[in-house]
Protein backbone atom coordinates (compact mmCIF):
# COMPACT_ATOMS: atom_id res chain seq x y z
CA UNK A 1 0.00 0.00 0.00
CA UNK A 2 1.31 3.44 -0.93
CA UNK A 3 1.53 6.22 1.59
CA UNK A 4 0.03 9.62 0.92
CA UNK A 5 3.48 11.23 1.02
CA UNK A 6 4.86 8.85 -1.59
CA UNK A 7 2.01 9.69 -3.98
CA UNK A 8 2.52 13.44 -3.45
CA UNK A 9 6.23 13.01 -4.14
CA UNK A 10 5.37 11.07 -7.28
CA UNK A 11 3.20 13.89 -8.60
CA UNK A 12 5.91 16.44 -7.81
CA UNK A 13 8.43 14.44 -9.84
CA UNK A 14 5.99 13.96 -12.72
CA UNK A 15 5.24 17.67 -12.79
CA UNK A 16 8.92 18.53 -12.94
CA UNK A 17 9.19 16.20 -15.95
CA UNK A 18 6.30 18.10 -17.59
CA UNK A 19 4.10 15.00 -17.56
CA UNK A 20 1.26 16.75 -15.74
CA UNK A 21 -0.36 20.06 -16.55
CA UNK A 22 0.09 22.57 -13.74
CA UNK A 23 -3.65 23.01 -13.27
CA UNK A 24 -4.17 19.27 -12.80
CA UNK A 25 -1.14 18.95 -10.58
CA UNK A 26 -2.28 21.72 -8.23
CA UNK A 27 -5.62 20.09 -7.57
CA UNK A 28 -4.09 16.62 -7.30
CA UNK A 29 -1.79 17.85 -4.55
CA UNK A 30 -4.71 19.39 -2.72
CA UNK A 31 -6.87 16.27 -3.00
CA UNK A 32 -3.99 14.09 -1.85
CA UNK A 33 -3.65 16.23 1.27
CA UNK A 34 -0.49 18.17 0.43
CA UNK A 35 0.31 20.91 2.90
CA UNK A 36 0.56 24.55 1.80
CA UNK A 37 4.34 24.39 2.14
CA UNK A 38 4.47 21.32 -0.12
CA UNK A 39 2.41 23.12 -2.74
CA UNK A 40 4.57 26.24 -2.46
CA UNK A 41 7.69 24.13 -2.83
CA UNK A 42 6.31 22.71 -6.07
CA UNK A 43 5.72 26.29 -7.29
CA UNK A 44 2.09 25.84 -8.29
CA UNK A 45 0.49 29.00 -9.70
CA UNK A 46 -3.17 29.48 -8.75
CA UNK A 47 -5.27 32.09 -10.54
CA UNK A 48 -9.02 32.56 -9.97
CA UNK A 49 -9.39 29.04 -8.52
CA UNK A 50 -12.82 27.56 -9.05
CA UNK A 51 -14.38 30.50 -10.91
CA UNK A 52 -15.25 28.73 -14.15
CA UNK A 53 -15.88 25.44 -12.37
CA UNK A 54 -18.65 27.17 -10.43
CA UNK A 55 -20.07 28.75 -13.56
CA UNK A 56 -20.06 25.46 -15.47
CA UNK A 57 -21.63 23.67 -12.51
CA UNK A 58 -24.52 26.13 -12.56
CA UNK A 59 -24.86 25.72 -16.31
CA UNK A 60 -24.91 21.93 -16.01
CA UNK A 61 -27.62 22.11 -13.36
CA UNK A 62 -29.91 23.88 -15.82
CA UNK A 63 -29.96 20.75 -18.00
CA UNK A 64 -30.67 18.29 -15.20
CA UNK A 65 -34.49 18.43 -15.72
CA UNK A 66 -33.92 17.29 -19.31
CA UNK A 67 -31.24 14.67 -18.69
CA UNK A 68 -33.34 13.02 -15.97
CA UNK A 69 -35.80 11.91 -18.67
CA UNK A 70 -33.21 10.21 -20.90
CA UNK A 71 -34.19 6.51 -21.17
CA UNK A 72 -32.00 4.22 -19.07
CA UNK A 73 -30.10 6.98 -17.26
CA UNK A 74 -29.21 6.33 -13.61
CA UNK A 75 -26.87 9.15 -12.63
CA UNK A 76 -24.74 11.96 -14.05
CA UNK A 77 -21.56 13.27 -12.44
CA UNK A 78 -19.31 16.18 -13.29
CA UNK A 79 -15.70 15.05 -13.64
CA UNK A 80 -12.21 16.14 -14.67
CA UNK A 81 -11.45 19.90 -14.66
CA UNK A 82 -14.88 21.02 -13.42
CA UNK A 83 -15.05 18.58 -10.52
CA UNK A 84 -11.39 19.28 -9.71
CA UNK A 85 -12.33 22.96 -9.44
CA UNK A 86 -9.73 23.97 -12.02
CA UNK A 87 -11.77 24.66 -15.17
CA UNK A 88 -10.82 27.65 -17.28
CA UNK A 89 -12.87 29.75 -19.69
CA UNK A 90 -12.06 27.48 -22.64
CA UNK A 91 -12.74 24.21 -20.78
CA UNK A 92 -15.54 21.85 -21.67
CA UNK A 93 -17.90 20.24 -19.16
CA UNK A 94 -16.92 16.59 -18.79
CA UNK A 95 -19.67 14.34 -17.48
CA UNK A 96 -19.61 10.74 -16.29
CA UNK A 97 -22.92 9.08 -17.17
CA UNK A 98 -24.22 5.95 -15.45
CA UNK A 99 -26.84 3.90 -17.28
CA UNK A 100 -29.01 0.85 -16.78
CA UNK A 101 -26.98 -2.32 -17.26
CA UNK A 102 -28.85 -3.07 -20.51
CA UNK A 103 -29.02 0.39 -22.12
CA UNK A 104 -25.42 1.65 -22.30
CA UNK A 105 -25.38 2.30 -26.07
CA UNK A 106 -29.02 3.38 -26.21
CA UNK A 107 -28.67 5.93 -23.43
CA UNK A 108 -25.50 7.31 -24.97
CA UNK A 109 -27.16 7.70 -28.38
CA UNK A 110 -30.24 9.49 -27.05
CA UNK A 111 -28.31 11.77 -24.68
CA UNK A 112 -25.88 12.68 -27.45
CA UNK A 113 -28.71 13.56 -29.83
CA UNK A 114 -30.61 15.60 -27.24
CA UNK A 115 -27.61 17.68 -26.16
CA UNK A 116 -26.58 18.15 -29.79
CA UNK A 117 -30.03 19.44 -30.75
CA UNK A 118 -29.92 21.79 -27.75
CA UNK A 119 -26.58 23.11 -29.02
CA UNK A 120 -24.62 22.26 -25.88
CA UNK A 121 -22.64 19.18 -26.94
CA UNK A 122 -18.94 19.47 -27.60
CA UNK A 123 -17.99 18.65 -31.16
CA UNK A 124 -15.11 19.58 -33.44
CA UNK A 125 -13.50 22.82 -32.32
CA UNK A 126 -16.60 23.90 -30.41
CA UNK A 127 -15.46 23.18 -26.88
CA UNK A 128 -15.88 25.98 -24.33
CA UNK A 129 -18.74 25.38 -21.92
CA UNK A 130 -20.06 22.42 -23.92
CA UNK A 131 -20.84 18.97 -22.54
CA UNK A 132 -18.18 16.37 -23.31
CA UNK A 133 -19.72 12.89 -23.31
CA UNK A 134 -16.46 11.07 -22.81
CA UNK A 135 -17.33 8.45 -20.18
CA UNK A 136 -20.36 6.17 -19.87
CA UNK A 137 -20.68 3.17 -17.56
CA UNK A 138 -23.43 0.73 -16.73
CA UNK A 139 -24.62 0.68 -13.14
CA UNK A 140 -22.60 -2.49 -12.56
CA UNK A 141 -19.56 -0.84 -14.11
CA UNK A 142 -19.93 2.24 -11.92
CA UNK A 143 -19.90 0.02 -8.84
CA UNK A 144 -16.60 -1.46 -10.00
CA UNK A 145 -14.51 1.48 -11.23
CA UNK A 146 -11.48 -0.14 -9.62
CA UNK A 147 -11.51 -2.64 -12.49
CA UNK A 148 -10.17 0.21 -14.65
CA UNK A 149 -7.00 0.54 -12.58
CA UNK A 150 -3.94 0.09 -14.74
CA UNK A 151 -2.55 -2.07 -11.96
CA UNK A 152 -3.93 -2.76 -8.50
CA UNK A 153 -2.87 -0.03 -6.05
CA UNK A 154 -0.79 1.63 -8.74
CA UNK A 155 -3.28 4.09 -10.18
CA UNK A 156 -3.57 7.08 -7.84
CA UNK A 157 -4.92 9.32 -10.59
CA UNK A 158 -7.98 7.08 -11.05
CA UNK A 159 -8.53 7.17 -7.29
CA UNK A 160 -8.33 10.97 -7.22
CA UNK A 161 -10.67 11.18 -10.23
CA UNK A 162 -13.19 8.88 -8.56
CA UNK A 163 -13.08 10.66 -5.21
CA UNK A 164 -13.66 14.08 -6.81
CA UNK A 165 -16.76 13.17 -8.84
CA UNK A 166 -19.52 15.72 -8.27
CA UNK A 167 -23.04 14.38 -8.68
CA UNK A 168 -25.57 16.35 -10.73
CA UNK A 169 -28.35 13.89 -10.03
CA UNK A 170 -28.74 10.23 -9.19
CA UNK A 171 -31.46 7.69 -8.67
CA UNK A 172 -32.51 7.41 -5.03
CA UNK A 173 -30.09 5.16 -3.16
CA UNK A 174 -27.55 5.04 -5.98
CA UNK A 175 -24.94 7.43 -4.58
CA UNK A 176 -24.75 5.70 -1.21
CA UNK A 177 -24.24 2.32 -2.88
CA UNK A 178 -21.80 3.79 -5.42
CA UNK A 179 -19.57 5.19 -2.68
CA UNK A 180 -19.81 2.01 -0.66
CA UNK A 181 -18.79 -0.15 -3.62
CA UNK A 182 -15.86 2.15 -4.39
CA UNK A 183 -14.31 2.27 -0.94
CA UNK A 184 -11.10 1.05 -2.59
CA UNK A 185 -10.11 4.75 -2.87
CA UNK A 186 -9.46 4.67 0.88
CA UNK A 187 -6.37 2.60 0.13
CA UNK A 188 -5.00 5.82 -1.35
CA UNK A 189 -5.98 7.77 1.78
CA UNK A 190 -8.90 9.39 -0.05
CA UNK A 191 -12.55 10.01 0.77
CA UNK A 192 -15.39 11.07 -1.50
CA UNK A 193 -15.58 14.85 -1.65
CA UNK A 194 -19.27 14.98 -2.59
CA UNK A 195 -21.75 13.56 -0.09
CA UNK A 196 -24.80 15.64 -0.99
CA UNK A 197 -26.89 14.59 -3.97
CA UNK A 198 -30.08 15.36 -5.81
CA UNK A 199 -31.95 12.07 -5.86
CA UNK A 200 -35.02 11.02 -7.75
CA UNK A 201 -36.90 7.87 -8.61
CA UNK A 202 -36.15 8.55 -12.31
CA UNK A 203 -39.26 6.49 -13.01
CA UNK A 204 -39.73 7.66 -16.60
CA UNK A 205 -36.07 7.01 -17.45
CA UNK A 206 -36.25 3.54 -15.93
CA UNK A 207 -39.52 2.46 -17.59
CA UNK A 208 -38.79 4.00 -21.00
CA UNK A 209 -35.35 2.41 -20.99
CA UNK A 210 -36.80 -1.03 -20.34
CA UNK A 211 -39.46 -0.60 -23.04
CA UNK A 212 -37.01 0.60 -25.68
CA UNK A 213 -34.58 -2.17 -24.76
CA UNK A 214 -37.36 -4.75 -25.12
CA UNK A 215 -38.14 -3.32 -28.56
CA UNK A 216 -34.53 -3.73 -29.64
CA UNK A 217 -33.36 -0.20 -28.97
CA UNK A 218 -30.04 -1.23 -27.43
CA UNK A 219 -29.24 -3.46 -30.41
CA UNK A 220 -30.07 -0.69 -32.89
CA UNK A 221 -28.12 1.95 -30.94
CA UNK A 222 -25.05 -0.28 -30.72
CA UNK A 223 -25.27 -0.99 -34.44
CA UNK A 224 -25.45 2.74 -35.22
CA UNK A 225 -22.64 3.80 -32.89
CA UNK A 226 -20.19 0.91 -32.75
CA UNK A 227 -18.88 1.07 -36.32
CA UNK A 228 -18.10 4.79 -36.11
CA UNK A 229 -16.72 4.42 -32.59
CA UNK A 230 -14.38 1.57 -33.52
CA UNK A 231 -13.22 3.41 -36.65
CA UNK A 232 -12.17 6.38 -34.52
CA UNK A 233 -10.51 4.05 -32.03
CA UNK A 234 -8.29 2.54 -34.73
CA UNK A 235 -7.04 6.00 -35.70
CA UNK A 236 -5.83 6.87 -32.19
CA UNK A 237 -2.10 6.95 -31.59
CA UNK A 238 -2.59 6.16 -27.90
CA UNK A 239 -5.52 3.88 -27.05
CA UNK A 240 -4.65 3.44 -23.37
CA UNK A 241 -7.35 5.88 -22.28
CA UNK A 242 -10.10 4.35 -24.38
CA UNK A 243 -12.38 1.48 -23.37
CA UNK A 244 -15.16 0.21 -25.63
CA UNK A 245 -17.32 -2.66 -24.44
CA UNK A 246 -20.81 -3.29 -23.08
CA UNK A 247 -19.86 -2.06 -19.60
CA UNK A 248 -17.79 1.05 -20.32
CA UNK A 249 -17.58 3.60 -23.13
CA UNK A 250 -14.57 5.70 -22.18
CA UNK A 251 -12.91 8.04 -24.65
CA UNK A 252 -9.68 9.78 -23.65
CA UNK A 253 -6.93 9.92 -26.24
CA UNK A 254 -4.45 11.48 -23.80
CA UNK A 255 -4.31 9.39 -20.65
CA UNK A 256 -1.66 10.65 -18.18
CA UNK A 257 -2.16 7.50 -16.11
CA UNK A 258 0.27 5.84 -18.50
CA UNK A 259 3.05 8.12 -17.26
CA UNK A 260 1.92 7.78 -13.65
CA UNK A 261 2.01 4.00 -13.97
CA UNK A 262 5.51 4.01 -15.46
CA UNK A 263 6.98 6.35 -12.89
CA UNK A 264 5.21 4.69 -9.97
CA UNK A 265 7.05 1.43 -10.39
CA UNK A 266 10.37 3.33 -10.29
CA UNK A 267 10.01 5.91 -7.55
CA UNK A 268 6.93 5.41 -5.38
CA UNK A 269 7.65 4.00 -1.93
CA UNK A 270 5.69 1.23 -0.30
CA UNK A 271 4.36 1.68 3.19
Task: Return the domain boundaries, the chain.
Answer: 46-226+256-267
pLDDT of residue 46: 45
Contacts 24+ apart (CB under 8 A), 108-117: 108/133, 108/136, 108/221, 108/225, 108/249, 109/221, 109/224, 109/225, 110/70, 110/71, 110/72, 110/221, 111/67, 111/70, 111/73, 114/66, 114/67, 114/70, 115/63
Which pLDDT belongs to residue 37?
Answer: 67
pLDDT of 92 > 80? The answer is yes
Task: Give residue-wise pLDDT tens across range 28-43.
Answer: 666 666 666 666 665 5
The 10s digit of each residue's pLDDT in 142-192 is 999 999 987 666 677 888 889 889 999 999 889 999 999 999 988 877 788
Q: pLDDT value at position 264?
A: 58
Confidence of residue 125 (pLDDT cuts 50, 70, 90): confident
pLDDT at 261 over 90: no
Question: Considering the domain 46-226+256-267 in this protein, what is its CATH number?
Answer: 3.30.460.10
How much is the pLDDT for 269?
47
**Candidate ranges 60-64, 197-201, 228-232; pick with highest mean pLDDT:** 60-64
Q: Give the pLDDT score at 235.
A: 79
Residue 239 sits at φ, ψ, to 5 deg, of -100, 10
Residue 124 is predicted with a pLDDT of: 82
User: Can you give the pTM of this predicted structure?
Assistant: 0.85
pLDDT in tens, 195-218: 655 567 799 999 999 999 999 999
The per-residue pLDDT for 40 is 63
Mean pLDDT, the chain, as a whole number?
Answer: 83
Q: What is the pLDDT of residue 191?
A: 82
pLDDT of residue 271: 39
pLDDT attached to residue 189: 75
Q: Which pLDDT value is given to residue 116?
A: 96
* Helix orientation angle between 22-31 and 4-16, rounded to the nearest 10 degrees: 170
Of residues 128 and 255, more confidently modeled: 128
Amino acid sequence: MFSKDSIINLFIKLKRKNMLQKKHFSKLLELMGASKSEQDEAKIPVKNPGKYSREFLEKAKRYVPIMKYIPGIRAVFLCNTVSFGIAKETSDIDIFVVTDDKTLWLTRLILTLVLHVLGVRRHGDTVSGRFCLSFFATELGAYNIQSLERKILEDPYLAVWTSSLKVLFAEAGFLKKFQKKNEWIQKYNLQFSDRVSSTSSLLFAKISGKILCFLGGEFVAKHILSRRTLAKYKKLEDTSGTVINDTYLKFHNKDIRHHVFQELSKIAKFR
